Amino acid sequence: MNNLVKVRLTSPQIKLIESVTAIPGNLEKSLREAVRSSAGTTRQIPYADLDQLAGWLAAEANREETLRRRRSLDRLYDEVQTALWEFDDRRIASGEPMPVVPSESILLAKPTKRGSRRKN
């Protein structure tokens, strides 16, 4: 089994994803490539990218002041998260290991120097 998650996106959902301002450049490029096919068709998006997108959609929805847009973001988040859960369920049922998704906080953390803690 590969790490590509099947997800179906409509034209309004694609436009909503494109309107999310907080998505980092590398993820945005990957998502744009994945959603270029015609709307309503099933796309295969890498697990890590879809997982990051879910986080960015949730963050954008939490900041959104317009109720209508917030609800749209929440619905899209639910669909993306459901696709991830279904992928996880199929992966578990097949007995294959889960994909590893690096945490941005780990990737962005500055290394600490040995002995940098203050001793009391």
pLDDT along the chain (120 residues), means of 10: 80 83 72 65 83 90 93 94 91 76 50 48
Quote the tokens at residue 19.
């309107």
pLDDT confidence of residue 6: 85
State the distance between the two ends of the chain, measured CA to CA, in whole angstroms: 52
The answer to whether 56 and 78 have CB atoms below 8 angstroms apart is no
pLDDT confidence of residue 84: 92
pLDDT confidence of residue 72: 94
What global pTM score does this model have?
A: 0.71
What whole-number distance in Å separates Cα of residue 14 and Cα of residue 10?
6
pLDDT confidence of residue 66: 94
pLDDT confidence of residue 105: 46
pLDDT confidence of residue 67: 95
User: What phi-psi label fits residue 115: left (phi over 0), alpha (psi between -120 and 50 degrees) or beta?
Assistant: left
